[in-house]
Chain A
Amino acid sequence: MFPFTSNTGLQKTTSYKIVLPFYIFAGLSFLLACILLLVNTSVVHQHYFHPKTLAITHLMALGWGTMIILGASHQLLPVLIEGKLDSELLAYFSFIFAAIGIPFLILGFYFFNTGSVLQTGAILINAAVISYLVNVISSIYESKKYNVYAWFMATASLWLFATTFFGLLLVFNFTRSWLPNNSTEYLSVHAHMGLAGWFLLLVIGVASRLIPMFLISKYTNTRTLWSLYALINAALIGFILLKTNGSFTGFYYSPFILALIALILFGNYCFKAYKVRIRKQVDEQMKVSLLSVALLFLPLLSLLAVIYFISSSIKTNLVLLYGFCIFFGWITAIIFGMTFKTLPFIVWNKEYTTNALIGKTPAPKELFSQTLFQIMSLLYLLGFLLFIFGIILLNDTLLKTGAVCLLASAVCYVSNVAKVIFHQPKK
């Protein structure tokens, strides 16, 4: 008989049928965003409130970053909160609403149809986010595990809803003047709710659990994680209050400093986990993920420059640099790394769970091409750097060359993702 009587049993993980559509949609969005970037490099010379820039930014933020995070978090939420995903139906709704809503929103921005096309997109995206938010909150509630990771997930999801709901108001404000000022006045609040509230909180919450787990590191520091949580939220709320009260621009340094302290703490947390790791060999995917932590400091540097030159004409260029460093730098690097740390396992589980020991079973990392991954990483780094210099120097050749390299890296990424998804076990 079994000697143990409590806390037993294998918990059901989220079905691959929920997760894979998000990955496919995200990969195609990234490819499309790189194509649009290549054919519209001239937008770098113009104001950031340009239809094409808005379309590319939203495609990167929603189609690429948010879709892949939604997909991965449906898989990872049970690991983080030690409880199962509450509703698979809500997860499907979340995908369907977003997959229809995002193309509407992008088309609306690209052709600057501020009426029904943009509004339909915004409404559907909000429906997707509400489905996700309800699922996250109810899963946490059902699991009864209110740990720091659960707080990161729940708060990030709330900020995502705040971002998309505010976005909806801004969209309707184009035609109905629902808000006291012009929509452009609120762009920075809308953007930072999404960047710091959604992306930064969620990535830090998930990475602080996954990085030590993948490195098999004993390092953990819940106090640091709570400090990070408080600092990021305080920085964001502080910025929103300063911006909406029309405060003296010099005050913007205070939320910046809070965010800077948070990132230094997070960088230190990752470094400590890395230092005491048991698994000495770090694979390419983890290296790219760790690189993304370092890449967080680039947008912070550009943000500092934006605040310093807030009244100058070069601010527009710096804002573009800031946005580019976030979406094509930090977010893309972490997605590149984490896609090939999670997707092969999801597909491997689908194909080999029942016959793990029968015949020759490949390792999950053998489901994608390591060579293609390395080529993708090199092209990406080259493209990213060239495009940054292109923005700084306003040089078209650098911008075009950078965009070509980024597009080539997107092709490698999508090909490798397809290789994993369409993997067939050898007979």
Chain B
Amino acid sequence: MEVITNNNLKCTIALAGLYNVHDPEIGLNVVDLGLIYQIDFDEEAKEIYVSMTLTSQFCPMGESITNGVKQSASNAFQDYSVSVQLIFNPAWNADRISIEGQEFLNR
């Protein structure tokens, strides 16, 4: 699934870090799982806005996943602050899993 952004280069760097943040139950990273919707950069305010979802609004792992996303983006851009917004409309569904993600789950 494609991630919407206002800065392609920085988004690629952020995503490279997010490939290391995994859903603990599924074992798949949040990017291939299709949880990341949008990453925007506010250069003046030095702020990163990550819009993402969870497989369920009451996912018991939600807090650890969002913490992981925040830490990963902070590590990649140390002079930026990171805000994560959870979106449940549109809700996550299995069609959002990338081809690489599907291959991982097929193993």
Give A contacts to B, CB under 8 Å.
1-4, 6-11, 13, 75, 78-79, 82-84, 213-214, 216-218, 278-281, 345-346, 348-349, 352-358, 363-364
Contacts and interface: CB of A to CB of B under 8 A. Distances in A.
Contact of B93 (A8, A9, A218, A346): A218
Main secondary structure of the interface of A (DSSP, over half): loop
Interface string B25-68: 11100000000011010100000010100111111111111111
A3 B71 contact: no
B21 interface: yes
Interface of B: 4, 20-21, 24-27, 37-38, 40, 42, 49, 51, 54-68, 71-72, 75, 83, 85-89, 93-95, 97, 102, 105-107
A364 B23 CA distance: 10
29 contacts: A1-B40, A2-B49, A3-B38, A4-B37, A7-B87, A10-B62, A11-B62, A13-B58, A79-B60, A82-B58, A216-B94, A216-B105, A278-B102, A279-B26, A345-B60, A345-B61, A348-B24, A348-B64, A349-B63, A353-B64, A353-B67, A356-B21, A356-B24, A356-B67, A356-B68, A357-B21, A357-B71, A363-B24, A364-B25
Contacts of A6: 89
A8 B88 contact: yes
A217 B97 CA distance: 12
B25 A78 contact: no
Nearest to A279: B105
Given A8-B88, A279-B26, A280-B107, 16 more contacts: A1-B49, A4-B37, A8-B86, A8-B87, A9-B86, A10-B63, A79-B59, A83-B58, A217-B94, A278-B102, A279-B105, A280-B105, A349-B61, A353-B63, A356-B21, A356-B65
A24 to B, nearest CB: 19
Contact of B26 (A11, A216, A348, A356): A216
A352 B25 CA distance: 13
B60 A2 contact: no
A315 B106 CA distance: 49
Contacts of B72: 357
A3 B60 contact: no
Contacts of A214: 25
Contacts of B93: 218
Given A8-B87, A10-B86, A363-B24, A281 B107 contact: yes
Contacts of A358: 71
